[in-house]
Amino acid sequence: MTQQRIVFFGTPDFAVPSLMALGGTHHEISLVVTQPDRPRGRGRKMMAPPVKETARKLGLPVAQPDSIQEHEFTDEMKRISPDFFVVVAFGALLKADLLAIPKIGTVNVHASLLPLYRGPAPIHWAIIKGESKTGVTTMLLDTGVDTGEMLLSRETEIQPDDTTATLHDRLADLGAAVLTDTMDAYASATIEPIPQNHALATYAPMLQKKDGRIDWQWSADRIEALIRGTNPWPGAFTYHGNKRLKIWSADVTSADTTEHPGTVLRGFDDELRVATGDGILAIRVIQSESGKRMPVKDFLRGYPLEPGAVLT
């Protein structure tokens, strides 16, 4: 099986399993390219991207250019003369001049079943939109946004209790497996790129904080999906008066109500049931504006929400 020379582009946790998987193959990783160290956390301490930390553990050389558009970076890529670029959640688009450098092409791992959910937030939106399945796709990058020819894909079911966090980790591992299969198929010349059907494409834009706002006119099913799809970020939220409340977990109940959407319903002392546009949502884990997330029964001891109160 032919050994391929690879330059790996990746930055966050999602890319780590792919880098580790490639590092365990016979292929040569000539360089790992990642974003510069950034300040993080409350103390704003400079921290290395997860991919950089993993590359160091694997003994791989690392580059952190301020911009991959710099001539010096392009010249370095030409000097390495890789067979492939492999791109997994790098955080910047590769333009045509860079994409022309690898001898064979640029392989990307995308966390959806393309052409569905192109864009930067496919995991969030697959859950928010109530999909029953998703997956990962490897493709050849072109200058569009996730529009390149597809190579391999693999499905996974979205479980009823999946959040973006849990699905992220599962897809990261699945992506690593599909990536190594893709590279092995290239090495043995047994893979044929397939054009995407652009007419079926959907887009998954980057989420903003406002996207977590709950609209109680929606159905209970739709709100519950929003809660899971925005966990851990940006978090689903609502207001009681001028108090902002984050909802981290909820269940859809089988009961119906004629109360106005957003109205707190009568129930047991340790539960918080809210009317929606279709059905009732039972909130399980909640967080006040300045507090910690906690089970709703503990929250209600310090912040009682009586039947008839309205969330907006």
Q: What are the tens digits of pLDDT across the range 273-287?
A: 999 999 999 999 999
CB atoms within 10 A of CB 161: 9
Average pLDDT over residues 212-218: 98
Q: pLDDT tens digits for 95-154?
A: 999 999 999 999 999 999 999 999 999 999 999 999 999 999 999 999 999 999 999 999
Instruction: Label residue 210 by pLDDT band (50, 70, 90).
Output: very high
307: which 2 tokens? 């039947």
Q: Is 52 left (phi over 0), alpha (psi -120 to 50) or beta?
A: alpha
Distance between CA atoms of 145 and 134, rounded to whole angstroms? 19
> Within 13 Å, how many C-alpha atoms sit on residue 218's CB side?
16
Q: So what's the architecture of 209-302 in CATH?
A: Roll (3.10)
5-200 — its CATH code? Answer: 3.40.50.170
Looking at the predicted structure, is the pLDDT value of residue 295 above 90?
Answer: yes
Question: For the chain, how are helix, strand and coil distributed in percent, rounded to 5?
Answer: 30, 30, 45
Distance between CA atoms of 266 and 244, rounded to whole angstroms? 22
Q: Is 81 left (phi over 0), alpha (psi -120 to 50) or beta?
A: left
Distance between CA atoms of 33 and 31, rounded to whole angstroms? 6
The domain ranges of the chain are 5-200, 209-302
46: which 2 tokens? 């400079």
pTM to 2 decimals? 0.96
Looking at the predicted structure, is the pLDDT value of residue 290 above 90?
Answer: no
SS3 category, 154 = strand
- Residues contacting residue 2 through CB under 8 Å, at least 6 positions apart: 187, 188
Looking at the predicted structure, is the pLDDT value of residue 85 above 90?
Answer: yes
SS3 category, 253 = strand
